[in-house]
Structure 1
Amino acid sequence: MIDHDVRNCDYVKVPEPLAETVDASIVGHMERYYNTATRPIPGQPTLIYRYMKGVGFDVHHDEVTDIEVCRAQQSGQPVIGGNVTALLFLNDPDKYVGGELYFEHPVELEVRPPSGTLVSFPATRDYLHGVRPIRAGERYSLLVRYTADLRSR
């Protein structure tokens, strides 16, 4: 069951020329961190999400499964593949209250990093995460997925 009040964030697709600039800025960091080639996925969108007051994102994982496809269809969100998630925070946490990115597995962690912070993690069932509801203001973040050979890490 999906709580549409909690998983109802707005998004826009980043135009291709700008998405290529984003990839050029992020991929090197990802390759250094994961110590393996990281590749953009042709034709897959880069998204900017806006979380408004009352909006968050239920606990989920980023691996594409039938359940995730169903959730995306119900929420109107695009299905994005790849095995590595990159999340770039676009505004500072003093612009919103709540909106913490949290992980429940494999570790318990909650972050509200400053603008320009890149958070990356494997897009697998092992990395359960969500976004706490916004209590005031708006949170903006950029999401893109890549393919990388994580077995070599």
Structure 2
Amino acid sequence: MPEIVEFPERPYVGIRKTITMTSFNLVGDRLGEIIGWLVQRGAYPAGAPFFRYDSIDMAGDRLVVQAGVPVATPVEGEGEIFAGTLPAGRYVTVSHHGHPDQLMGVTDAMLKWAADQGLTWDMTSEEGGTEHWGCRLELYNTNPAEEPDLNNWDTDLQFRLA
């Protein structure tokens, strides 16, 4: 069941790419690289790595997505890796245990729940349906090196409210 949680600002480092649904690996495969980059600098993840959806155009099969890793204190970016901050605020959050392929259904159920509650997202829509999100996250709580079976993964969705 979704719930509303208040989060503070959260620093992170990440990369951003414009992709399609079939080229998601261009972002997804970079999480390990970002974690390695942090460790080389004596910094470590301060939570689950995530994907942040900046814009979604399902009709045009175009997504702007970040792969990010939270840090305890801000770290200066370098090259393609940038430093950012997830905004403070109220988020609708829900946890999912199972294959990431099931997240589309989990997301749809969460969006419907929020609509039924009369909640408004930190999101704007363009004519044609492109959505620009203030902060829409998928956090991957399972280390794939420890649990390679995708059916046993734990994922949290966190979408910021207006």
Fold in common (TM above 0.5): no
Larger Rg: 2
Query: Could you state the TM-score of these two structures normalised by the residue count of structure 1?
Result: 0.30
Query: Could you state the TM-score of these two structures normalised by the residue count of structure 2?
Result: 0.29
Q: Which has the higher contact order (CA 8 A, sep 6+)?
A: 1
